[in-house]
Chain A
Amino acid sequence: MTDKTILSVDNLALSYGSNPILKGVSMQLKRGEVVSLLGPSGSGKTTLLRAVAGLEQPHHGSVTIAGRAIYDAAANIDIPAEKRDLGLVFQSYALWPHKTVFDNVAYPLKLRKVAQNEIVQRVHAALKNLGLDHLAERYPHQLSGGQQQRVSIARALVYNPPVILLDEPLSNLDAKMREEARAWLRNLIVEMQLSALVVTHDQSEAMAMSDRILLLNGGVIEQQGTPTDMYGQPQTYFVADFMGSNNIMTGRIGDIKGGEARIDLDNGISVWGLRRTNAAIGHEAKAVIRVEQARLADAGGHNRTEVDLVTSMFLGDRYEYVFHAGKDLLRSWGTRHEAPGKRWLELPGDAVWIF
């Protein structure tokens, strides 16, 4: 742990009854860094966030914030949620319906016994910062979803917590607003130099917003790294599959040459790719290639195969082609409409991962 580390989770384990949810998770968050907890539902990402917040009860491991142990099973330390001084933005925003916007944001300061005139000043500053100053006297139900989210953020930031936790911050917004809010939120975090831990199930949201991504699977961290690492260098089939849109085919290892291997796919195609498995020749394996990496070619060649183009779909900014290859449907993208018929499809060797 370096002195830049603001949040450190060490080997945290948690169960619901006899059902383990977190099976020993360790991670660090540096000052001014945004880390996303990414994973499918049931992977334990929200549970991890809530355990850090003090809303769930782990049974093993430790959590340290700014050098202060807030949870340590061995030392029997378990600081209650209200003493952890963390900010949490809830998925549903959790604004108190019986309090005005002002009172919602002022409540944390009131609990900290801040003088009344300072409360007024700080709440207004926080609201102004988020463009909400004119809504102070409204009640939550009188606000739009986006406004509610901002109030929720203002409430979580008003007492300057060292770390802010965001639980699926964009999921309650409609699709169009989501992209704008994503940019706005990233900008806010960078500008205010916040240290943030964000839970999301959307890989593109995670990549756009964070400095680092932790991908959880079944209560353990499957892989962590920068968004480019996670997308470009998946270490396991799960990571490759979870990030991006893929063509996935099954087959058997046909040949191995150092870091590369040839896979003879069940659909009849044989391709070379980067070997990410220890499976020996003749054993089952999977080939994964990002949709955007597969491309149409003029003629046959290395890692090229003849497939049957069934249809071209117009997606606005591009076309998506759908091919038949044996029993598999393969996809690739291009810039123009293609008529159905036989085509050559290239699966570049440095873009095919074999797991």
Chain B
Amino acid sequence: MLQTLPRRAVVALLALSVFFPLGLVIYQSVLSGPFFMPAAKLSLESFAFIFDDPDFWSAAKNTFAVAIGMSVIAIPLGAILAFIMVRTDLPGRKWLETPILIPIFVSPVVLGFGYVVSLGPVGFFSVWFQELFGGVPWNIYSLASIIVIAGLTHVPHVYLYSSSALRNLGSDVEEAARLSGASPFRVARDVSIPMVSPALLYVGVLVFFLGFEIFGLPLILGDPEGHLVLTTYLYKLTNKLGTPSYHLMAAVATCIIAVTFPLVLLQRALLKNAQRFVSMKGKSARQRPLMLGPWKWLAFGLILAWLFITVVVPVSGIALRSVVSSWGQGVNLLEVLTLDHFHAVFEENTMIRSIINSVLIGTLGGALAVGGYLAIGLTTHRKNDGLSRFVDYIVLTPRAIPGLMAGLAVFWVFLFVPFLAPLRSTLFSVWFAYAVVWLAYGMRLIQSALMQVGPELEEAGRLVGASNARVSRDITVPLVRNGLLGAWLLIFMIFEREYSTGVYLLSPGTEVIGAQIVSLWASGAVDVVAALSLINMALVGIGLAVALRFGVKLHD
């Protein structure tokens, strides 16, 4: 709750931060060249070009295939995982809670790279598998592999939403089904999961929509066989005409936004619906775990197998690649062990800077972002007026823009807005792009923390004579302190993991590990990529450990 003037100032700043870059992208898409070149004029030729390009259509087709395939894989698996974790007496549930969320916090480029070195044609696991069985039945570079991996790595997203819905469901309905003679599997299929279907529908849209934005996996896995999705097509346009084609890239981004923005709105509508559904059922939430009996070992095995494929395989591949100088068929790994890649990283100023910057942007930048999100959260907190609804929509908008393009737009903003120009080569520009791209995510964390504060605690403050601002300062903010700490740690991990947004913002002084990996990957410095990836995962791991130490819930 802020006073009118600061409130309007916060909203104005927010609107500017979101709509200026977005507007620039859309404006750029209807020009014939880069918007800053005098020769550029209004024209639809960029759209004409991409619609005429068979690559665009094949990328669009692949994108839909990825989005649909991902949903088809992730939703049932995520829902079943949630059911097993929340409603049954699975052994080691407490212990498993953290590992199953890891895929959310590992950068997809790192994962993609991990799969290449583990399951690629001569990957560590492939070679080993081949020696045992004489052949490898998978092809990691196929579109199907991309879809399966994308699906498996998005299981935790589905898990998060369906588990919180399941937690609010009274266990009596399941017990009733069990007494009527249903096996645990039937209980899940016939009772529990249908009852959380609104939450599943919501997360279904979310996953489908994330399918439109995945970049890291297809960038790395789709390259060798030329499988493009819209984001990698966009990235490829950087070069296709020999000279950069900002207008074409902006046109592709506009096409992506045209699909994702309605999905964002749909999601918002569904979220309201899902919440209503859950709270309606949530009254009698009395939870007793369902006895799985012998099924529990099957369930346990399934979860371990999934974790093995999505976490252990790629991560161990990277770890191994980072300490060998060579790999593949006929290479004895013991002979090629080396710490040179780490030496190379720590001898190189830009690498060291990128590590320091990544830490800075996660810690300091994360705190600053949480502060900004909090300011926005307070402008809408307990206010249901036009301005609040406006903020609601602005906050969701950046989700619709691919991070890659958002980073480029922010680069333009910092280039051409005079008073921002001196900040362009500073970490501030990267922070700004990150903070805008992750606005919706951060705001959800903040808003759910703010909603925990009983309204009467704030009203009591008003009644005894505190202004809105005083109430925020003396009551609301101190009460959400733990929520803010949690948000900060989660933002830290998300910022460590981010990669695409920084790609076009990379310059001396603004290096961050994620973008550095993309850039190094493009130039083929695989040794260093492996070492940096490992360092990146270590940073996320530290964040995770601290979060757990402080008892931060990794989800709401």
Q: How far is the CA of A107 from the CA of B473 in the complex (A)?
A: 13
Task: Please name all residues of chain B whose beta carbon is closer than 8 Å to the beta carbon of A97 when the two chains form the complex.
Answer: 457, 479
Q: A94-B454, A96-B475, A98-B478 are in contact. Are A86 and B463 (CB under 8 A)?
A: yes
| Partner among B460, B465, B475 whose Cβ is within 8 Å of the Cβ of A159 | B465
Name the residue on A nearest B464 (C-beta).
A108
B456 interface contact, C-beta 8 A: yes
B312 interface contact, C-beta 8 A: no
Asked whether, in the complex, the Cβ of B466 is within 8 Å of the Cβ of A87, the reply is: no
A53 interface contact, C-beta 8 A: yes
Asked whether, in the complex, the Cβ of A55 is within 8 Å of the Cβ of B462, the reply is: yes
Interface contacts (Cβ under 8 Å), in number, total: 68
Q: How far is the CA of A84 from the CA of B467 in the complex (A)?
A: 11
A45 interface contact, C-beta 8 A: no
Q: How far is the CA of A111 from the CA of B466 in the complex (A)?
A: 6
| Partner among A85, A92, A111 whose Cβ is within 8 Å of the Cβ of B454 | A92
A296 interface contact, C-beta 8 A: no
Asked whether, in the complex, the Cβ of B462 is within 8 Å of the Cβ of A81, the reply is: yes
Q: How far is the CA of A85 from the CA of B464 in the complex (A)?
A: 7
| Partner among B456, B457, B465, B479 whose Cβ is within 8 Å of the Cβ of A111 | B465
B172 interface contact, C-beta 8 A: no
Digitize A99-137: 1 where CB-to-B-CB distance is under 8 Å, 0 elsewhere: 000000001100110000000000000000000000000
Q: Which residues of B, 452-507, contact A by the 8 Å Cβ criterion? A: 454, 456-457, 459-468, 470, 474-475, 478-479
Task: Please name all residues of chain B whose beta carbon is closer than 8 Å to the beta carbon of A83 when the two chains form the complex.
Answer: 465
Digitize A73-91: 1 where CB-to-B-CB distance is under 8 Å, 0 elsewhere: 0000000111111111011
Task: Please name all residues of chain B whose beta carbon is closer than 8 Å to the beta carbon of A84 when the two chains form the complex.
Answer: 463
Q: A94-B457, A94-B459, A96-B457 are in contact. Are A156 and B467 (CB under 8 A)?
A: no
Task: Please name all residues of chain B whose beta carbon is closer than 8 Å to the beta carbon of A108 when the two chains form the complex.
Answer: 464-465
With most chain B CB atoms within 10 A of its CB, the pick from A82, A87, A108, A112 is A82
| Partner among A88, A96, A98, A112 whose Cβ is within 8 Å of the Cβ of B463 | A88
With most chain A CB atoms within 10 A of its CB, the pick from B461, B464, B466, B479 is B464
Asked whether, in the complex, the Cβ of A107 is within 8 Å of the Cβ of B464, the reply is: yes
Asked whether, in the complex, the Cβ of A94 is within 8 Å of the Cβ of B460, the reply is: yes
A290 interface contact, C-beta 8 A: no
Asked whether, in the complex, the Cβ of A82 is within 8 Å of the Cβ of B466, the reply is: yes
| Partner among B461, B463, B467 whose Cβ is within 8 Å of the Cβ of A53 | B463
Asked whether, in the complex, the Cβ of A94 is within 8 Å of the Cβ of B456, the reply is: yes
Name the residue on B nearest A54 (C-beta).
B462
How far apart are A89's CB and chain B's nearest CB, in angstroms? 9
Q: How far is the CA of A313 from the CA of B474 in the complex (A)?
A: 55
Q: How far is the CA of A107 from the CA of B470 in the complex (A)?
A: 11
Asked whether, in the complex, the Cβ of B454 is within 8 Å of the Cβ of A82, the reply is: no
| Partner among B456, B462, B464, B479 whose Cβ is within 8 Å of the Cβ of A98 | B479
A155 interface contact, C-beta 8 A: yes
Task: Please name all residues of chain A whose beta carbon is closer than 8 Å to the beta carbon of B474 when the two chains form the complex.
Answer: 107
Digitize B298-336: 1 where CB-to-A-CB distance is under 8 Å, 0 elsewhere: 000000000000000000000000000000000000000
Asked whether, in the complex, the Cβ of A111 is within 8 Å of the Cβ of B470, the reply is: yes
Name the residue on A nearest B462 (C-beta).
A81
How far apart are B5's CB and chain A's nearest CB, in angstroms? 15
Task: Please name all residues of chain B whose beta carbon is closer than 8 Å to the beta carbon of A91 when the two chains form the complex.
Answer: 456
Q: Which residues of A, 134-191, contact B by the 8 Å Cβ criterion? A: 155-156, 159
Q: How far is the CA of A155 from the CA of B467 in the complex (A)?
A: 17
How far apart are A167's CB and chain B's nearest CB, in angstroms? 9
Q: How far is the CA of A91 from the CA of B456 in the complex (A)?
A: 9
How far apart are A113's CB and chain B's nearest CB, in angstroms? 10
Task: Please name all residues of chain B whose beta carbon is closer than 8 Å to the beta carbon of A82 when the two chains form the complex.
Answer: 461-467, 470
How far apart are A302's CB and chain B's nearest CB, in angstroms? 52
Asked whether, in the complex, the Cβ of A90 is within 8 Å of the Cβ of B467, the reply is: no
Q: A92-B454, A92-B456, A96-B457 are in contact. Are A85 and B465 (CB under 8 A)?
A: yes
Task: Please name all residues of chain A whose beta carbon is closer than 8 Å to the beta carbon of B464 when the two chains form the complex.
Answer: 82, 87, 107-108, 111, 155-156, 159
Digitize A207-229: 1 where CB-to-B-CB distance is under 8 Å, 0 elsewhere: 00000000000000000000000
Task: Please name all residues of chain B whose beta carbon is closer than 8 Å to the beta carbon of A92 when the two chains form the complex.
Answer: 454, 456
Name the residue on B nearest A86 (C-beta).
B463
How far apart are B452's CB and chain A's nearest CB, in angstroms? 11
Q: How far is the CA of A155 from the CA of B465 in the complex (A)?
A: 11
How far apart are A289's CB and chain B's nearest CB, in angstroms? 38
Name the residue on B nearest A112 (C-beta).
B465
Q: Which residues of B, 153-169, contact A by the 8 Å Cβ criterion? A: none
How far apart are A319's CB and chain B's nearest CB, in angstroms? 37
Asked whether, in the complex, the Cβ of A80 is within 8 Å of the Cβ of B467, the reply is: yes
Q: How far is the CA of A81 from the CA of B465 in the complex (A)?
A: 7
Digitize A43-86: 1 where CB-to-B-CB distance is under 8 Å, 0 elsewhere: 00000000001110000000000000000000000001111111
Task: Please name all residues of chain A whose beta carbon is closer than 8 Å to the beta carbon of B478 when the two chains form the complex.
Answer: 98
How far apart are A53's CB and chain B's nearest CB, in angstroms? 6
How far apart are A314's CB and chain B's nearest CB, in angstroms? 33
How far apart are A69's CB and chain B's nearest CB, in angstroms? 19
With most chain A CB atoms within 10 A of its CB, the pick from B468, B474, B478 is B474
Q: How far is the CA of A98 from the CA of B456 in the complex (A)?
A: 14
Name the residue on B nearest A84 (C-beta).
B463
How far apart are B536's CB and chain A's nearest CB, in angstroms? 37
Task: Please name all residues of chain B whose beta carbon is closer than 8 Å to the beta carbon of A86 when the two chains form the complex.
Answer: 463
Task: Please name all residues of chain A whose beta carbon is closer than 8 Å to the beta carbon of B466 when the two chains form the complex.
Answer: 82, 107, 111
How far apart are B383's CB and chain A's nearest CB, in angstroms? 11
Q: How far is the CA of A316 from the CA of B19 in the complex (A)?
A: 72
Name the residue on A nearest B467 (C-beta).
A82
How far apart are A70's CB and chain B's nearest CB, in angstroms? 13
How far apart are B114's CB and chain A's nearest CB, in angstroms? 44
How far apart are A119's CB and chain B's nearest CB, in angstroms? 13
Q: A97-B479, A98-B479, A111-B470 are in contact. Are A80 and B454 (CB under 8 A)?
A: no
Task: Please name all residues of chain B whose beta carbon is closer than 8 Å to the beta carbon of A54 when the two chains form the complex.
Answer: 462-463
Name the residue on B nearest A167 (C-beta).
B456
Q: Which residues of B, 394-412, contact A by the 8 Å Cβ criterion? A: none
Asked whether, in the complex, the Cβ of B462 is within 8 Å of the Cβ of A90, the reply is: no
How far apart are A3's CB and chain B's nearest CB, in angstroms? 26
Q: How far is the CA of A80 from the CA of B469 in the complex (A)?
A: 13
| Partner among B459, B465, B468 whose Cβ is within 8 Å of the Cβ of A90 | B459
Name the residue on B nearest A88 (C-beta).
B463
How far apart are A159's CB and chain B's nearest CB, in angstroms? 7
Asked whether, in the complex, the Cβ of A96 is within 8 Å of the Cβ of B462, the reply is: no
Q: How far is the CA of A95 from the CA of B463 in the complex (A)?
A: 13
With most chain B CB atoms within 10 A of its CB, the pick from A90, A94, A155 is A94
Digitize A5-44: 1 where CB-to-B-CB distance is under 8 Å, 0 elsewhere: 0000000000000000000000000000000000000000
How far apart are A139's CB and chain B's nearest CB, in angstroms? 13
How far apart are B388's CB and chain A's nearest CB, in angstroms? 14
Task: Please name all residues of chain A whose beta carbon is closer than 8 Å to the beta carbon of B457 when the two chains form the complex.
Answer: 94, 96-97
How far apart are A168's CB and chain B's nearest CB, in angstroms? 12
How far apart are B431's CB and chain A's nearest CB, in angstroms? 30
Q: A96-B475, A98-B479 are in contact. Are A80 and B462 (CB under 8 A)?
A: yes
Q: How far is the CA of A95 from the CA of B478 in the complex (A)?
A: 14
Task: Please name all residues of chain A whose beta carbon is closer than 8 Å to the beta carbon of B462 when the two chains form the complex.
Answer: 54-55, 80-82
Name the residue on B nearest A98 (C-beta).
B478
How far apart are A21's CB and chain B's nearest CB, in angstroms? 15
Q: How far is the CA of A111 from the CA of B462 in the complex (A)?
A: 11
| Partner among A81, A85, A87, A90 whose Cβ is within 8 Å of the Cβ of B456 | A90
| Partner among A55, A85, A156, A159 whose Cβ is within 8 Å of the Cβ of B459 | A55
Task: Please name all residues of chain B whose beta carbon is closer than 8 Å to the beta carbon of A96 when the two chains form the complex.
Answer: 457, 460-461, 475, 479
- 12 pairs, A vs B, C-beta closer than 8 Å: A53-B459, A81-B459, A81-B462, A82-B462, A82-B464, A91-B456, A94-B459, A96-B460, A96-B461, A96-B475, A108-B465, A111-B470
What residues of chain B have their CB less than 8 Å away from a CB belonging to chain A?
A: 454, 456-457, 459-468, 470, 474-475, 478-479
Beyond A80-B467, A83-B465, A111-B466, 6 extra complex contacts between A and B, CB < 8 Å: A55-B459, A87-B463, A92-B454, A111-B464, A155-B464, A159-B465
What residues of chain A have their CB less than 8 Å away from a CB belonging to chain B?
A: 53-55, 80-88, 90-92, 94-98, 107-108, 111-112, 155-156, 159
8 A-B pairs closest in CB distance? A108-B464, A94-B460, A94-B456, A81-B462, A111-B465, A88-B463, A90-B456, A82-B465
